[in-house]
Amino acid sequence: MVLRHGRAESFAEEDHVRRLTARGRRDATAVGEWLSGAGVRPDAALVSSAARTRETWDLLAAALPEAPEAQVRDDLYSASADTVLDVLRAVPDDVTTLVYVGHNPAVASLAQALEDGEPDVEAFVALSRGFPPGAAAVLQVPVAWSELDAAGARLADFHAPAG
């Protein structure tokens, strides 16, 4: 799953410490409830070290029946989609369901680059409308993480916050 952090405050002393707004906190909880209802059970989480991504993960994880401890990484903070893809390729093969919590434009670019051309139509239409804060793309990866490449996953679902 590729997840963009929830809506964050516009300004802070520095970008890295920007926190979620009240809406961002609601949206992060809602995406966790959506995942729980869909039966998605992550066994690993890669999270940018920014305050807003860590807070998004914590709220999402609290809504799940069981959630892994996040691997918080500085290299995901200002990462490009290519950098994130390199990080994904290093995920151990025993991880079957992974959540990546990051920032735009990397999350939108990554989800679009991984999509294999045979998506769930409703998910594809929703993704085509944009990747707003708090949105999540669920992709099915049929290969080992080390073999993941562009057009290497099927877009199975997409969730964007209401309103």
CATH of the domain at 42: 3.40.50.1240
Domain count, the chain: 1
Domain region containing 83? 2-159
**24, 124 contact by CB (below 8 A):** no
| pTM for the whole structure | 0.97
Q: Show the low-confidence residues of the chain (pLDDT under 50).
A: none
Percentage of the chain with pLDDT > 70? Answer: 99
Cα distances from 101 to residues 11, 18, 92, 97, 121, in angstroms, run 20, 15, 18, 13, 24
Question: What does the alpha-carbon distance between residue 67 and residue 57 come to, in Å, rounded to a whole number?
Answer: 10
pLDDT at 162: 84
Quote the CA–CA distance of 42 and 38 in Å, as a whole number.
Answer: 12
